[in-house]
Amino acid sequence: MKYISTRGQAPAVTASQAILNGIAPDGGLYVPEHWPNLALDWSTLRTQTYSDLATLIFDAFFDDFSVSEIDHIINKAYGEQWTTEDIVSLHNEDDLTYIELFHGPTLAFKDIALQALPHLMTAAAKKQAINDKIVILTATSGDTGTAAMSGFGHVDQTEIVVFYPEEGVSDIQKQQMQSEAAENAHVIAITGNFDDAQKAVKTLLSDKALAHDLDAKNMRFSSANSINIGRLVPQIVYYIYAYAQLVKSERIKPGEEINIVVPTGNFGNVLAAYYASQIGLPVKQFVVASNENNVLTDFFTTGKYNSKRDFKVTNAPAMDILVSSNLERLLYFASGQNSTEIREYMTSLAEKGEYVLKTDTRDKLNKFTAGFASQEQVLQTIKHSRDTTDYTIDPHTAVGRYVYEKIAVSGPTLIAATASPYKFSQTVLQALNISPKSGHDALEQLAEATSTAIPNQISELFDKPVLHKQLIDAKQILTTLRHEIL
């Protein structure tokens, strides 16, 4: 199976090349040329383990990897580092099922893909006879950085460099990053917000002299960002798995359509649900839930993407984003794989900060609905869920839960629970009207208030020494990076 660029001006490549390249040379995103034919049979799938299903999906999408390579990758990615053997777990409330995606090392859903990506990349490099060291460079509002370090930490032939904004990361996220002990991890704070950090990192990626010097030392940049197809495919697995489990527990009949609600930032997670539907998952409606950075709500309601607005730092920070990159992949399929049309949209977005969908393309998105939650509504939803069902949700999941109620979704519904409430203890405590302490004390407060146990992954987090204290100004990013890796 070949991967082609959404913008149609780059050569078709194999899965392993697409994973190594990250973004296509024409600036587009890699998409499968056609959907694999899997003929999903729920009576068989319902008996399979998470790893069985991961193998099935990886084999189908990454078809230039051998069976033993895929087995190795799955073993590495979905092993002892998870606190549940099934990798994800389901929590049911009437018609609604939360898929808890946060039982990995950093307590957020990005672990599911980022525990696999480093092994996909190193296997891909071997396959392409590339001996360069892979340098992963990321700007993070918190979750990507911690998950990327956990995935790439200690992986041979890689370096992982994380820049995070001084403002807007949670206590836990900061401690997770600052205490990262892997010898190949570099962690640096930048003054300002996420936007500032991201802009600074982008200047590095287009710096020709830097690229030249890396090359001279047999190093190359790659991306752990969710535009990498190696991050998207692992996320298809849990939608298939959750559906099979719903069939198994007879909450739905095989073939019955479900709704999928996803708290959304860069559009990766909800796109994975769409990909799952393209290979046979029966979906009635996709619900795209945003926080106050509600570009996508407006987009799905009006057909116009308008990024010209203020960036807001909210209490669901992993969804603070104004340009959702993976939307381009959805539009590519909605337009009937029309790369000319996609180039027009993306040029308009780059030049004017907006674009308007053609009617035909917009009509193809009729399964998508969208809504958003304000920060106050997030807090109320956390409290409401606790009070009415004893279930504690994190602020991102609360965005999804609020939108689910608001637009009155009916019928069996899956909602992606993207982070553990413990990862955002302070916001959750605030929602429960408890004035939050800091560090480990906040974890204890939350454990007591909710009669739940502090997850093992972070029970000793605050005992770990802080190893990374560097704080720089965005202007120093190039000198800092050179000093760290060259």
Ligand X SMILES: *Cc1c(COP(=O)(O)O)cnc(C)c1O
Q: Which residues bind ligand X (CB under 6 A)?
A: 108, 110, 143, 226, 263-269, 318-319, 396, 418-419
Nearer to ligand X, 104 or 265 (CB): 265
d(CA 292, CA 374): 5
Closest contact distance (angstroms) between CB of 115 and ligand X is 14
Q: Which is nearer to ligand X, 122 or 324 (CB)?
A: 324
Contacts of 356 (CB under 8 A, 6+ apart): 303, 304, 305
- Whichever of 13 and 270 has its CB closer to ligand X, that residue is 270
Is residue 176 a contact partner of residue 107, using CB atoms and an 8 Å limit?
Answer: no
Tell which residue, 262, 303, 232, has the closest CA to residue 419. Answer: 262
Choice between 168 and 247, CB closer to ligand X: 168
Min dist CB 67 to ligand X, Å, is 29
Return the half-sphere exposure (C-beta side, CA atoms, 13 A cut-off) of residue 241.
26
Q: Smallest distance, Å, CB 419 to ligand X?
A: 4
To ligand X, the closest distance from the beta carbon of 51 in angstroms equals 22
Q: Which is nearer to ligand X, 22 or 268 (CB)?
A: 268
Output 176 or 226, the one with its CB closest to ligand X: 226
Residue 306 or 325 with smaller CB distance to ligand X: 325
- Count of beta carbons in the 10 Å neighbourhood of residue 298: 16
Distance between CA atoms of residues 37 and 297, nearest Å: 32
Judged by CB, which is closer to ligand X: 175, or 226? 226
* Comparison of 288 and 485: residue with beta carbon closer to ligand X: 288
C-beta of 267 vs 299, nearer to ligand X: 267
- 121 contact partners, CB below 8 Å, separation of at least 6: 19, 20, 134, 158, 222, 230
Nearer to ligand X, 111 or 196 (CB): 111
Distance CA 25, CA 472 (A): 31
Neighbours of 326 (CB within 10 A): 23
User: Strands (DSSP E) along 235-363, which ranges?
Assistant: 258-263, 283-290, 304-306, 354-356
Question: Shortest Cβ distance from residue 396 to ligand X (Å)?
Answer: 4
User: Shortest approach of ligand X to residue 298 CB, angstroms?
Assistant: 16
Rounded to a whole number of angstroms, the minimum distance from the CB of residue 269 to ligand X is 4
Shortest Cβ distance from residue 247 to ligand X (Å)? 25
Of 102 and 333, CB closest to ligand X: 102
Q: Are 391 and 424 in contact (CB under 8 A)?
A: no
Of 245 and 264, which CB lies nearer to ligand X in the complex structure? 264
Residue with tokens 């009155």: 408
